Chains A and B, each alone.
Chain A
């Protein structure tokens, strides 16, 4: 398990057209990795994420994706993910095929993927139109009770990328706080890249905390602040003001393009990005 720079990790392990899941449910969202995928101009990605919020708004607006698997896409508590909407409604900057689920369905699909089972099972999607527009949502009859239950095909991303608090030098990764489906998405993937706030000598993991052992991790990169403007428990809080201010920037193609040019394509790496945002008072 090598410790790489984020540039090296993305360059070596993510190809155009790959299915890529950046997980983290509000907490520990891997923004730094999303930006690096934009900088390295990955195209035609099948992006997977339960809640495509700002990080996918940025990646989809930058033209990285051709397909999106998701269950809720917006700016939480603020409104629309305008770049995601523009791609779905108007095909801008590129047409976006969607594969839509409920949260419970996505959670079951990752869990099945992590267990290397062919499908996830749930009592779900009852009486909704989701199965009508997503033919991969099907049913199976319980062999014991005869009940019809919903199935979703397992999700096994080519690459899952997570952000975590810590790794040790061997590459064991520690996550605490709101976990989302990070463990399941990580173990479902063929390759697992993790960015961390810091690399420590001793992980000092509390018993039963989520630890992804080094031999399931493909590479670790140390990127302090790598989840900003989301948060990393114990390091920095969620920057709600940035999320609120993002609405106006993302609403307009021109303003979004200027932000992207200046802060992502115009910066060398995430440290450079954070310095530029800091100089601008933290506003997008």
Chain B
């Protein structure tokens, strides 16, 4: 726990969620993944971006859930959506067609160019840890106009070489992206230390902003590659009381909803 702008304590998860939420603008069309991205996108909607269009890959377009979904296809997402379409349609007509402004992704591993691994730790044929897999991420990484990644920084997660590339990042030296992907690819990594963005000349992710309570040296030590820094590393303002209050209330409602006993069908 660390002090907020108004002196209250907050957790690293809350700082990340608030920081990610601030990066979304009103009217933005956002393709949302489950977990922290979903919390950030809904926090933005409840605060400064009431007209944000949230799309979950279950085919729910323009959804406004009252509580955070546990799964990507909770009933709440469908009941509060502008439209519900099939999976072939969401991937072909909406994502591949380039109608998404921001894709929000997490992963198990990331490298300095924003390539992501959500498939396997260790060799593919003899996995040390088998992860869920790519799901919607590869095409989100290619076709969203830009991609934000949310991931806690550690040498195990921020690695020199990925065990597997599940979705593509940027190409070294600002070269065009693999296979002529239309989207610009990962443009920000929001971590529990601050924000990384690609350097224009090398495409390598560098620290551009840090949280008040961490140092640049802390962030470098938590990175598996020699992390560079922008000429000026700014300080991310701590969460405001309003941001924390709205986020905590959202999580409280969500916990209550997910633990509510369901009457088994008879």
**CA–CA, A278 to B265, complex, Å?**
9
Set B75, B91, B134: member contacting A177, Cβ < 8 A: B75
Question: A107 near B265 (CB under 8 angstroms)?
Answer: no
> Given A76-B70, A237-B75, are A103 and B265 also a contact pair (CB < 8 Å)?
no
Question: A178 near B127 (CB under 8 angstroms)?
Answer: no
Question: A74 near B127 (CB under 8 angstroms)?
Answer: no
A279 to chain B, nearest CB (A): 10
Question: A80 near B177 (CB under 8 angstroms)?
Answer: no
Q: Is A231 at the interface (CB under 8 A from chain B)?
A: yes
Q: Is A44 at the interface (CB under 8 A from chain B)?
A: no
* Chain B count of residues within 8 A CB distance of the other chain: 63
* Chain A count of residues within 8 A CB distance of the other chain: 69
> Given A26-B72, A103-B57, are A129 and B166 also a contact pair (CB < 8 Å)?
yes
> Given A224-B265, A225-B265, A236-B263, are A72 and B71 also a contact pair (CB < 8 Å)?
no
A267 to chain B, nearest CB (A): 14
Q: Is A93 at the interface (CB under 8 A from chain B)?
A: no
Q: Is B60 at the interface (CB under 8 A from chain A)?
A: yes
Instruction: Return chain B residues, CB-CB under 8 Å to A70.
Output: 133
> Given A127-B177, A236-B265, A238-B75, are A184 and B136 also a contact pair (CB < 8 Å)?
no
Instruction: Return chain A residues, CB-CB under 8 Å to B266.
Output: 224-225, 274
Q: Is A211 at the interface (CB under 8 A from chain B)?
A: no
Instruction: Return chain B residues, CB-CB under 8 Å to A124.
Output: 96, 138-139, 142
Instruction: Return chain B residues, CB-CB under 8 Å to A88.
Output: 127, 130
Question: B133 near A274 (CB under 8 angstroms)?
Answer: no
How many A-B pairs with Cβ below 8 Å?
217
Q: Is B222 at the interface (CB under 8 A from chain A)?
A: no
Question: A179 near B75 (CB under 8 angstroms)?
Answer: no
Question: B92 near A107 (CB under 8 angstroms)?
Answer: yes
Question: B86 near A183 (CB under 8 angstroms)?
Answer: yes
**CA–CA, A147 to B254, complex, Å?**
45
Instruction: Return chain B residues, CB-CB under 8 Å to A180.
Output: 58-59, 73, 86-87
Instruction: Return chain B residues, CB-CB under 8 Å to A123.
Output: 96, 139, 142-143, 179, 182
> Given A85-B130, A104-B96, are A277 and B264 also a contact pair (CB < 8 Å)?
yes
Q: Is B34 at the interface (CB under 8 A from chain A)?
A: yes
Question: A111 near B88 (CB under 8 angstroms)?
Answer: yes
A residues adjacent to B (C-beta < 8 A) = 25-27, 50-51, 70-74, 76-78, 80-81, 84-85, 88-89, 100-104, 107-108, 110-111, 122-130, 133, 147-148, 177-181, 183-184, 224-225, 228-229, 231-233, 235-244, 274, 277-278, 281-282
The 10 tightest CB contacts between A and B, nearest first, are: A26-B73, A127-B178, A127-B168, A225-B265, A74-B132, A72-B135, A126-B179, A76-B71, A77-B70, A104-B91
